[in-house]
Structure 1
Amino acid sequence: MQPGLSSVRLLLEPQVTSHADEMFLHLQNPALYTYIPSDVPQNLVALRLRYTRQESRRSPDGSEAWLNWIVRLKGSIGSDKTPCIGFVQATVCLQEKTALVAYTVFQEFWRHGYAKEALTSMLDHLFAHYDLSAAEALIDTRNIASTSLVEAVGFTQVEFLPQADFFKGEHSDEYRYRLDRSPISNSA
């Protein structure tokens, strides 16, 4: 079982099928999909099915680990306020020892540093437990908040990908960002 993670203000719970019921309403905000080729989930059943597929935590051929966490504010579990504030995810290529990371924080929680805190917590876990050489993120060039976030965490832009995707009726250029594992010092 994928472990839960914790940071100063956040708890990251391994995503399971039952989270779909709680996440569905939050995921209906079209603003979350401005810079990504995904769309608002069609219905709760479809979201449950997606979460069920992801719950295996492995690609069908076993070459990738699919790691997804639901992000909560500490102390909010069981409250009627906003128990979930977003999610973080990583696709770990087990042979190459790299991960492609993504993150979403719901709009009412933007600009509070939660995405940075959740991403950092996940990255710390990935580098410690998956022996990664690097983590990468693909970001639409128009998404200034996201490029600023990964740069603040230590990622470096390594590639510009013109017309990397086509969605919502137009082409999207992307940046590929990379965070290499810090060398471990063996000095006494």
Structure 2
Amino acid sequence: MTKIYFQSLNIDHANLLFEYLQDDALYHYIPDQKYASIQALEARYSRLIQGSATADEIWMNWVIFNDSVHKQPIGTLQATLFPQQKTVQIGYVIFKPFWGKGYASKAVEWLETHLKETFPIQYLEAYVDPQNTASIKVLEKNLFSFIKLEDNDLYYSKHISNQ
């Protein structure tokens, strides 16, 4: 696997990511929708970039690339920080041509390091569909622990230290 690179989400990414996001297989395990047009995806990205309407949440979104010039996207990465709880909920989508190559595990590893260096957090959390065995493996490889079944999703958590 090649090195991966991250760029904060911007509106222009809609043009770059739209075709990858048309693959029905991406939506088997995530509650997102397939966007009907680039304009609809731009509107979604605009809302994500604006961030939460409350100070209780901080939204962060990145595009994952496998090249340093940011031409070949391989997926997206999300983090929602709850500062008062010192907790971050994470999510990721890897585009189908890049499944099974270790990119999601690398992205979660990068995200943990980035968040620990940037924020005083104690917990990473993730929710995963019980049938999404690939994502479960990603979380377990990154030392997340299964906590409980919550609203038909598996809830995983990882205690981290900023030391």
User: Which TM-score band (shorter chain)?
Assistant: over 0.9
SS of corresponding position for 2:60? strand
Q: Structure 1 residue runs of 4+, over 3 Å off? A: 75-78
In structure 2, the partner of 1:176 is 155
Runs (5+) with no aligned partner, structure 1: 1-7, 165-172
Question: Partners of 2:49 and 2:12 in 1: how far apart?
Answer: 10
Sort the Cα spacing of 1:124 and 1:25 in 2 relative to 1 into closer, same or farther, 3 A. Answer: same
Whether 1:67 and 2:60 are equivalent positions in the alignment is yes
- How far residue 36 of structure 1 moved from its aligned partner, in angstroms, is 1.5
Alignment RMSD: 1.4
User: TM-score, structure 1 length as denominator?
Assistant: 0.82
Shift of 1:77: 3.4
Opposite residue 90 of structure 2, the aligned amino acid is V
Identity of aligned residues (%): 30
Alignment check: 8 A CA contact 2:61 2:77 kept: yes
Deviating more after overlay: 38-47 vs 142-151: 38-47
Task: Report the alpha carbon displacement of residue 182 of structure 1 after superposing the two structures with TM.
Answer: 3.6
1:28-83 Cα deviation digits (max 9, x unpaired): 00100101122211211111011111112x311222111000000024634xxxx1
Residue 146 (structure 1) aligned with residue 125 (structure 2): no
SS at match of 1:126: helix
Cα distance in 2 for residues equivalent to 1:122 and 1:183: 13
Whether the 8 Å contact between 2:120 and 2:162 is mirrored in structure 1 is no
TM superposition score normalised by structure 2: 0.94
Q: CA deviation at 1:128?
A: 1.8
Q: Work out which of the two has the higher radius of gyration on C-alpha atoms and give 1 or 2.
A: 1
1:167 matched residue in structure 2: none
Match of 1:169 in 2: none
Structure 1 match to 2:94: 105
Paired AA for residue 17 in structure 1: I
Tell me what 1:35 maps to. Answer: 29
